Amino acid sequence: MKPLPESYSEVNAAVVTPDPPRSATPAGRDRLQARVAAIAWASDIVARPDVVYLDTETTGIDGRAEIVEIAVVDGAGNTLLDTLIRPDGIIPYEVIRIHGIDDRMVAGAPRWPEVYPALLDILRERTVIVYNADFDFRLVNQMNRRCGFQGRSDLWHCAMKHYASFATDWHARHGNYRWHKLGVALARFGYPDINHRARSDALACRLVVRGMAAEGRGMGDEG
């Protein structure tokens, strides 16, 4: 489960994001610069061989929430990790309605101490891309604290915030570019919405980044 894009808190997050919010509505040139910067970021990410895309599904969004599924795919879309995780608590019904993962499905799944060492190996010396990276980064560290693992301090890239700069839809109340749900970003590039499971969302994040990068190639062709 992911919180609505406007509702999450950036607590203990080490995430690479675009420029900080501004109060004034940006002019046309500023919007173009934001869009070009987002495309440049995406183009760089697509070209890097060390990139992975990560996603989690959880029991909620607060400080007690647990991860119940995690997936990582590489830049070519190959699955490096895709596993359910058995939490200590129950999975609330309102969360099951979102990702479809219930208590019966995770009853025989490994717990976080069994999964995290494999995740640690996969992410070593990797560039990590996540759609709404602040949330997933916080949840991974939340699980680490629960289980006695050292907290992560590496930098994760937030595809959601870069897509916001790409879309340049200004949010006057928050003073920044509006954060869009993953399904909205997928639709922008002609892809259908997906079932919200960790592997599907990780692959969808990859498509969004590649879609932004492709826009840059189109701009180059026009130039």
The CATH number of the domain holding residue 218 is 3.30.420.10
Residue 131 maps to a domain = yes
pTM for the model stands at: 0.87
Residue 64 maps to a domain = yes
**Tokens in use for 43?**
């183009």
Enclosing H/E stretch for 3: none
Q: What is the pLDDT of residue 195?
A: 84
Beta bridge partners of 196: none
Residue 2 maps to a domain = no
- Say if CB 208 and CB 185 are below 8 A apart: yes
- Say if CB 134 and CB 13 are below 8 A apart: yes
Residue 31 maps to a domain = no
SS3 84: strand
Number of domains in the chain: 1
Residue 202 maps to a domain = yes
116-134 pLDDT, tens digit each: 999 999 999 999 999 999 9
CA angle 171/183/164 to nearest 5° reads 30
144-186 pLDDT, tens digit each: 999 999 999 999 999 999 999 999 988 888 888 999 999 999 9
Residue 215 maps to a domain = yes
Rounded Cα–Cα distance for residues 110 and 107 (Å)? 9
Residue 10 maps to a domain = no
Torsion from C-alpha of 32, 219, 39, 37, nearest 10 degrees: -40
Domain that holds residue 75: 51-222
Residue 22 maps to a domain = no
